Chain A
Amino acid sequence: MSERVFRFRLNGTEVEGRAEPRRLLSDYLRDDLGLTGTHVGCEHGICGACTIHLNGRAVRSCLLFACQVDGAEVRTVEGLADARDPLSPLQEAFWEHHGLQCGFCTPGMLMTAAELLETNPDPTEGEIREAISGNLCRCTGYVFIVDAIRAAADKLGARGAERQ
């Protein structure tokens, strides 16, 4: 099958990509680019483990073809904090509140939570639960994930207040 060429920004860096039209974005990111932080849990759009940001919106990379990101801005979990930098406030809050166990759903959960906090900086518990209801976690029972996201909102809110 002939390959498609496409250009996009990935975690802030320009990439020229090349893939078969049918290649899934999740496989492309993981296997071709080596960004294995994006996990694949069901390959049919239910579990949310493969969630990334496409032009700022949380989407499932297993439901997109790689070539569909042509011209787009893509952000993966590796883009939340550089490996040499401190964790982002959201990651820090997940650490602080035991919002992860096996770590498999975590990247997708973080990307969904990041989108939530960017669009709704002060969510209620109900809004948090609704927002992450498309990300399955089998380990935690969600209680500490909800706490972590709420704590991140507080932390980010306090930072925003400081800046003002």
Chain B
Amino acid sequence: MTEQARPSFIGARVKRLEDPRLLRGHGRYVADVRLPGALEVAFVRSEMPHADITAVDAGAAREHPGVVRVLTGSDELVAGREIRGDWRGEIWQTSAQPALAGDRVRFVGQPIAAVVATSRYVAEDAASLVVADYRELQPLTSARASLSDGAPLLHEGWTRNFFRHSHFLGGDPDAAFAAADGVLELRTATQRQTGMPLETRGCVADYDVVSGSLTVWMTNQMPSVVRTSLADVLGVEENRVRVVAPDIGGGFGVKAYLYPEDVVVCLLAMELGRPVRWIEDRREHLLAAIHARQQEHRVQVAYRADGKVLAIRAEVLVDSGAFSVHPWTAGLEAGNALSLLPGPYTIGDYECDAYAVATNKSPFGPVRGVARPAAALSTERAMDQVARATGLDPIEVRRRNLIDARDCPYTTVTGNLIDSASFQEALDRLCEVADYPQLRRQQAEAREAGRLLGIGVACYAEQGASGIHEYLRRGMPTIFGYETALVRMDPSGKVLVEVTTHSHGQGHETTIAQVVATRLQVPLQDVRVVYGDTSRMPYGMGTFGSRSIVMAGGAASAAADKVRLKLEQFAAHLLEISADDLETVDGAVRAKGAPFRSIPISELARAAYHQPHRLPQGMQPLLEAVSTYDTERGTGTWTNACHLALVELDPGLGLLDVQKYVVVHDCGVIVNPTIVEGQLHGGIAHGIGGALLEELVYDEWGQPLSTTFMDYLLPSATEVPRIEAHHIETPSPFSATGSKGMGEGGAIAPGPVLAAALEDALRPLGEVVVTELPLTPERVLRYVDEARGAAADASGDR
């Protein structure tokens, strides 16, 4: 029988195995964990962006009926409990975030006290009785202000207000600029946004005083890593710490940290010897969960008259907030922006300075896309301006600059190794499926009728499944370069898989099962995938950075292969045939070319456990294997995509109506197209929110103004259009399954796509360059005015 005849679940639109429990309301999230005798915590948070705490009066709170403990920042219990995340680069300044601030606060929302009571209602009542006195210090509310001369220094021992400064020089930008036919300059800006999962953070800690063991249920995307971090900060032996990350209501990067609140909840449970529970509310989430995305770029672009971009010089300022987060550091977004700004293009001469600047705002960390939305805004807006300057179509400019897929593996100017791609093909396909010429005709007709339609396009390469090599190169303190899987076939032949990634929407219970069922040739329903409990699972890194199908899929595939090989060796012994002459197909191990000589897997499994005397000499009973996995060169995989949108602008209201959104996407071998499409839709919706609606606004005194869902607008079903997704499958030569990571990509392009579409829509009114996101009605109206002003200037009637 040929290889193709083996049943394969790869590429099948399998319904998700996790869904029935979630649809019935039987998921188990952290807030659903109820332990007898549990106490509840409410945090008291700083109202000041930058101040010395002169006194905290917790007397009334302590006397409030039902209050068990009030903990303040000066309490011995939290002394020295600090969270650090230090980038291992040349120019780095450290910070230490206290579990509770004792003497100084550095952002509004920073926890300064915790009240423990018999119920959350009582804890919140008492928390409101805690009064802090402050001596105010000058708040630093923008990256520019922080870097200005005379700005107060945010942390002790600092020389200027940045965590990280990186300089990159590749090729010879000076020569390229000198030889260019034209040079243009752009200043782009993206504002503070965040992942905003529908489930807030939460932590339930239970300490067994007698055994000294601590169990913590947490909303966390990386249970193994956070277990180590907790053990370090708490001073508890790690083999006595169990972290359980049960069902989680979305992460998007926001739940991939050790937070101060986690430390405080655990310390309280350990001191009180009773379970302690904290479920964050949405206001706290907006104030004190990590923020992301706020960047300012100054970009100079050298180009040739034929549309070829020769060189880029850039300065990147990231408003990175008050503290460096653990384990990602405050430097990641600045580093990614520097590394990825040249985009999927053959730009060989590049210079960049990137700063992770400290400000008096909530700490900053990686969120879906991590710097790529801001980097793509600069790169793609640059392509559009080159198109305008050269008179070429924006699609044609991209075509002339995209990396030729035949050159892959291709090393970019910043040293990124793009494993394989279909850049040109994807762009051609986009023009075809969106019928680009027809869209242009439609736009022209609409303009005739006085309607403002605009078309925007963007391309990107999405770095995913970063491995050992990549995290070393980035200077991360922890090298997140692998994932792990345990595959256990039980005596009945059913399979349990433990993966170290965490699934909170991504569908690992299904896709990893598809991979394992295919490798082991067992029915899909015989494979159960679990995750999220460090007392059971092997050690691994977690879910982030578009990695799971490659890394966990690779590990599960490798562990399944070990189990299959063992089955085959066992069968070889029983059948008295060389294992080389056996194959595993559709539930049985059988002789190649003589399928009637076969043993069902279920029979082998039972014997491997219950009839150990039948095993060949030296073979141990049990059928289980653990395997770690990294991509072949540790450089990861690169998904590529092109997005196109058609919008209509209402110039009176400043509203953009997204009428069409098309994406052509290549993430290599697709394990489950439905799940890939769901991830794409979600990423694009996230990106549309980022492009049009979402903004964490701070006023000039450092007070956050976006503290409810009335202020921070998430896209709803009436803002997100029907998204059309088309696939190309260029297998990755570096991943075990040929798949590439793709969870974040959708969020990268909508910003530049919609900025370009607005600029295009405005063209009949006048020429402007749209460089600032999000395109809230206020900003859009400013661009409308600017366009009209530009037209008036051009006609000289001002």
Q: Which residues of A contact B22 (CB under 8 A)?
A: 100, 102-103, 106
Residue of A nearest to B25 (CB): A37
- 5 closest residue pairs by CB, A with B: A37-B25, A104-B249, A103-B22, A141-B681, A101-B505
Interface size class of A (residues with CB under 8 A): 35 or more
Q: Distance in Å from the Cβ of B675 to the closest Cβ of chain A?
A: 7
A residues neighboring B (CB under 8 Å): 20, 22-23, 27, 30-31, 34-44, 46-47, 49, 76-78, 80-81, 83, 87, 91, 94-96, 98, 100-107, 110, 125, 128-130, 132-146
Please tell me which one of the listed residues A31, A35, A40, A94 contacts residue B25 in the complex, with CB atoms under 8 A apart.
A35
**B198 close to A37 (CB less than 8 A):** no
Residue of B nearest to A76 (CB): B25
Q: Which residues of A contact B506 (CB under 8 A)?
A: 101
In the complex where A41-B200, A100-B23 touch, is A134 in contact with B250 (Cβ < 8 A)? no
**B681 close to A137 (CB less than 8 A):** no
Q: Which residues of B contact A138 (CB under 8 A)?
A: 195-198, 250, 252, 682, 685-686, 714
A-B residue pairs in contact (CB < 8 Å), sample of 9: A41-B282, A42-B282, A46-B710, A103-B21, A103-B23, A104-B198, A106-B23, A136-B714, A145-B717
Q: Which residues of A contact B726 (CB under 8 A)?
A: none
Q: Distance in Å from the Cβ of A93 to the closest Cβ of chain B?
A: 10
**A83 close to B26 (CB less than 8 A):** yes
Docked complex Cα distance between A118 and B656 (Å): 33
Please tell me which one of the listed residues B25, B121, B504 contacts residue A78 in the complex, with CB atoms under 8 A apart.
B25
Chain A CB within 10 Å, residue with most, of B200, B507, B710, B717: B717
Of B27-35, B68-76, B534-542, the segment with at least 4 beta carbons within 8 Å of chain A is: B27-35
Number of B residues with CB within 8 Å of any CB on chain A: 58
> Is B228 engaged at the interface, CB distance under 8 Å to the other chain?
no
**B24 close to A77 (CB less than 8 A):** yes
**A103 close to B717 (CB less than 8 A):** no
Residue of B nearest to A43 (CB): B281
Docked complex Cα distance between A83 and B505 (Å): 22
Binary per-residue interface labels of chain B (12-23) against chain A in the complex, 1 for a CB within 8 Å, 0 otherwise = 000110111111
Docked complex Cα distance between A43 and B20 (Å): 26
Please tell me which one of the listed residues B23, B24, B34, B722 contacts residue A31 in the complex, with CB atoms under 8 A apart.
B34
Residue of A nearest to B679 (CB): A101
Docked complex Cα distance between A128 and B717 (Å): 9
> Is B475 engaged at the interface, CB distance under 8 Å to the other chain?
no
Residue of A nearest to B31 (CB): A40
> Is B723 engaged at the interface, CB distance under 8 Å to the other chain?
yes
> Is B582 engaged at the interface, CB distance under 8 Å to the other chain?
no
Q: Distance in Å from the Cβ of B719 to the closest Cβ of chain A?
A: 9
Q: Distance in Å from the Cβ of A144 to the closest Cβ of chain B?
A: 6
> Is B617 engaged at the interface, CB distance under 8 Å to the other chain?
no
Q: Distance in Å from the Cβ of A125 to the closest Cβ of chain B?
A: 8
**A102 close to B197 (CB less than 8 A):** yes
Docked complex Cα distance between A130 and B710 (Å): 18
> Is B222 engaged at the interface, CB distance under 8 Å to the other chain?
no
Docked complex Cα distance between A142 and B252 (Å): 17
**A102 close to B248 (CB less than 8 A):** yes
Please tell me which one of the listed residues A23, A100, A103 contacts residue B121 in the complex, with CB atoms under 8 A apart.
A23
Residue of B nearest to A125 (CB): B722
> Is B684 engaged at the interface, CB distance under 8 Å to the other chain?
yes
> Is B718 engaged at the interface, CB distance under 8 Å to the other chain?
yes
Docked complex Cα distance between A30 and B28 (Å): 12
**A103 close to B249 (CB less than 8 A):** yes
Q: Distance in Å from the Cβ of B648 to the closest Cβ of chain A?
A: 16
> Is B583 engaged at the interface, CB distance under 8 Å to the other chain?
no
> Is B586 engaged at the interface, CB distance under 8 Å to the other chain?
no
Please tell me which one of the listed residues A30, A34, A103, A125 contacts residue B247 in the complex, with CB atoms under 8 A apart.
A103
> Is B596 engaged at the interface, CB distance under 8 Å to the other chain?
no
